[in-house]
């Protein structure tokens, strides 16, 4: 080890390696959650302290991981929770509880950041709560304030226009570092500003094809060996185009009598989507299995993955599905970055549900043995073992900030 290495290590030991992640939640069956936790585990091993501040009081097994590592998991005060959230921020309820209380949110976040002595505040959300977090971090002179774009800007109504013209623009102004999951997501959110792409990667030690897990989960869900299982892993939100997805499967079911559909994930449209499926008389063919922590089994049990998103920053579920050897059908707005194998197919959103179904149902391509695709994802450098992007970014910018302070 030369003098330069020793000097740099000494410098790193003196730096403020305490981080606050501003997030929506840490629920499973969520691509951003998977990405955040993969980075989190590497940061902890590298000696960083990481706290979380979440918008929603939604349970997750990852909360215990954070607490066991000595971190704090704060949840914004919720509208239907009358008692004050403890200053420790530890809440362990398993169910969702309302939405953030705007009146109390500012003071709550202010107290966390003022008392937290953070070297980095890293914002993973957009909108009002991203804005107040960035404002407070700037007022508290947090040295590194990161705005991380996980999706491109998508304007579909007046509310989303307000997001773009006020909340997101102001958040960009308050921050001094910019990250994105893809060039598309970065250019859309930050325009001419310089940003760095941090690859969204997966853990192929957890996400891989397993014949055993496939058979076990099919048995649990009463799916026969003759059933052909289509499926998806996504939130039931506008972005994921859930009504159209139901329409596509309806058309597939008309063409394939043994078709079943498995939907992993929840969301604000969950009740309406279930009602819509019932109105199509698909109740016996669609299984809504909620958030799961056995994702290798979920992907392994599928024979085809479908997600016609309206927009995506990257779409980590497409990487996960390919790692498990599942043929994937995505909308043509999904970045081509995720096309890592022959399993990945794109269909235009301009096509009708019937046209989507016709393309998908007629897939007669011969694919390789499913177990080989794990290595293909590793070779494409989308396994977390090959990804130190965020850790290296933090260390280089902390060192830079200590030498050349940037306000």
Give pLDDT tens digits for 45-54: 999 999 999 9
**Alpha carbons 243 and 247: distance in angstroms, whole number:** 6
Check which CATH number belongs to the domain holding 19 and give it. 3.40.50.2000
Please give the average per-residue pLDDT across 351-369, as a whole number.
Answer: 90
Residue pLDDT, tens place only, 3-34: 455 445 555 556 789 999 999 999 877 788 98
Residues 6 or more apart whose CB falls under 8 angstroms from that of 402 comprise 11, 14, 15
Whether residues 194 and 138 share a domain: the answer is: yes
Residue pLDDT, tens place only, 211-223: 999 999 999 999 9
Would you say residue 216 lies in a domain? Answer: yes
pLDDT grade for 407, boundaries at 50, 70 and 90: low
Would you say residue 365 lies in a domain? Answer: yes
**Alpha carbons 92 and 62: distance in angstroms, whole number:** 11
Please give the average per-residue pLDDT across 128-132, as a whole number.
Answer: 94
Range of the domain at 102: 3-199+387-403
Count of domains forming the chain: 2
Whether residues 231 and 375 share a domain: the answer is: yes
Whose tokens are 């977390």? That residue is 384
Q: What is the pLDDT of residue 164?
A: 67
Q: Is the pLDDT assigned to residue 233 strictly greater than 60? A: yes
**Average pLDDT over the chain, rounded to whole?**
89
Distance of CA 244 to the CA centre of its chain: 21
Least confident stretch, 5-14, 37-46, 387-396: 5-14
Whether residues 194 and 239 share a domain: the answer is: no
Would you say residue 153 lies in a domain? Answer: yes
Work out the number of other CB atoms within 10 angstroms of the CB of residue 68.
8
**Alpha carbons 251 and 223: distance in angstroms, whole number:** 20
């Amino acid at each position: 080890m030369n003098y330069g290495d020793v000097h740099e290590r000494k410098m790193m030991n003196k730096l403020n390696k305490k981080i606050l992640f501003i997030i929506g939640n840490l629920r499973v069956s969520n691509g951003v959650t998977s990405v955040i936790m993969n980075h989190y585990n590497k940061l902890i091993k590298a000696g960083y302290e990481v706290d979380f501040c979440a918008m929603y009081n939604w349970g997750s097994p990852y909360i215990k991981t954070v607490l066991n590592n000595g971190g704090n998991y704060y949840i914004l005060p919720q509208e239907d929770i009358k008692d004050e959230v403890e200053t420790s921020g530890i809440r362990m309820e398993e169910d969702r509880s309302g939405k953030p209380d705007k009146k109390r949110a500012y003071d709550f976040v202010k107290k966390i950041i003022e008392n937290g002595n953070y070297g980095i505040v890293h914002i993973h959300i957009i909108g009002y709560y991203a804005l107040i977090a960035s404002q407070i971090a700037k007022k508290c002179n947090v040295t590194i304030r990161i705005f991380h774009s996980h999706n491109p800007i998508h304007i579909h109504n007046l509310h989303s226009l307000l997001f773009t013209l006020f909340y997101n623009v102001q958040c960009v102004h308050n921050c001094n570092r910019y990250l994105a999951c893809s060039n598309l997501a970065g250019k859309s959110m930050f325009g001419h500003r310089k940003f760095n792409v941090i690859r969204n990667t997966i853990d192929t030690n957890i996400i891989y094809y397993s014949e055993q897990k496939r058979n076990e989960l099919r048995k649990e869900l009463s799916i026969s060996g003759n059933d052909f299982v289509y499926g998806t892993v996504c939130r039931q939100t506008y972005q994921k185009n859930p009504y159209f997805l139901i329409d596509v499967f309806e058309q597939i079911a008309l063409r394939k009598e043994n078709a079943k559909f498995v939907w992993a994930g929840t969301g604000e449209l969950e009740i309406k989507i279930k009602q819509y499926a019932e109105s199509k008389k698909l109740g016996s063919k669609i299984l809504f299995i909620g958030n799961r922590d056995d994702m290798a089994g979920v992907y392994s049990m599928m024979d085809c993955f479908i997600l016609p998103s309206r927009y995506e920053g990257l779409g980590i579920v497409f990487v996960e599905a390919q790692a498990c050897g599942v043929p994937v059908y995505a909308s043509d707005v999904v970045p081509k970055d995720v096309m890592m194998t022959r399993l990945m197919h794109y269909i235009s959103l301009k096509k009708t549900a019937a046209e989507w179904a016709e393309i998908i149902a007629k897939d007669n391509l011969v694919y390789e043995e499913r177990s080989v695709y794990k290595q293909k994802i590793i070779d494409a450098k989308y396994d977390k073992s090959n990804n130190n992007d965020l850790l290296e970014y933090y260390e280089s910018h902390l060192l830079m900030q200590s030498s050349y302070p940037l306000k």
